[in-house]
Every structure is written in C-alpha cells, then in structure tokens.
Amino acid sequence: MGDDSEWIKLPTDQKCEHKVWKARLSGYEEALKLFQRIKDEKSPEWGKYLGLIKKFVTDSNVVAQLKGLEAALVFIENAHVAGKTAGEVVSGVVTKVFNQPKARAKELGTDICLMYMEIEKAEVVQDELLKGLDNKNPKIVSTVCHLKRHHCI
C-alpha cells in the first residue's frame, strides 16, 4: 500500500494539489470543514488557499470537483480575500463546470458566480460570463444564457 496512501499524512493544502484524485478529494473535504470552522473573515488561514481555489473548481475528477465546488463556495462566502480570486475562479467555472452533465455542479457553479456578485465582484463575473458566450460548447453558452435571463449579466 506504500505510495498509494502516503498522501494521508500531508497537510490539507498539499492534499488539494496532489496528483491522486482521492488525495484531492480528501483535501477538499478537509478544507470545507476548515472553512466552515473559521469564524474570523480576516483569519490568515484563508490566505493559504488563495492560489488553490481555482483548482477546487477545475479538478479533472468529477467527484473531487463537486467537493471542491462546495469548499470554494464556503471560501467565497466567508473569506475577506475571496474577491481576489473572482476572475480566475469564474473563468474556471465557465469552462470546466458549466459544461458538466451533473446538475449539482452547474448549480454550485451558478451559486459561486452569484456569491462573487454579492461580494461586489459583479463586473469581473460579467466579463467572464460574457467570454463564455464565445465558447464553442453549447452547454456553456446555454448556462451563461440562463444566468443572463436571471439578470445576472
């Protein structure tokens, strides 16, 4: 079992970047619990995840990605630094989430976009969603148009 489970001992942020999808899933689950426990929106703990949040939403494994989306949403809802991630995360949502067949992924992606708007990053969200209209994938364009109908853009 050696190499396969070595990741278990890693810190949460390192699990989130691991090459093994089960390690990333575990990391996202731990991050979600951590994000729910942090009561101070200005805690330095948030900063550790600034560069990782895009990876949460763009994970190549669908199961891990769903947990990553949940964790990303809680991060955006609670971290004072979340606004810094708006462009890259929404771009990731548009290209890697809105084309998913899973309704739950699209729902979480939409919630993430709406949460960024709530924390006053509407212009960034709008720009990324409008870029999505140029996409060749009809699922992405359809989801972006759905958001447009709900006056998000």
The predicted model scores a pTM of 0.89
In the chain, alpha helices (H): 12-15, 21-37, 53-58, 62-78, 86-96, 103-118, 122-132, 138-149
Domain range list for the chain:
2-149
Residues ≥6 apart with Cβ < 8 Å to 103: none
Listed as ranges, residues in the chain with pLDDT below 70 are 1-4, 148-153
Confidence at residue 134, expressed as pLDDT on a 0 to 100 scale? 78
Confidence at residue 1, expressed as pLDDT on a 0 to 100 scale? 38
Confidence at residue 140, expressed as pLDDT on a 0 to 100 scale? 74
Alpha-carbon distance values, 103 to 19, 109, 110, 116 (Å): 26, 10, 11, 20
Question: Domain 2-149 carries which CATH code?
Answer: 1.25.10.10
**pLDDT tens-digit profile of 65-103?**
999 999 999 999 999 999 999 999 999 999 999 988 889
Place of tokens 């998913």: 100
Confidence at residue 106, expressed as pLDDT on a 0 to 100 scale? 93
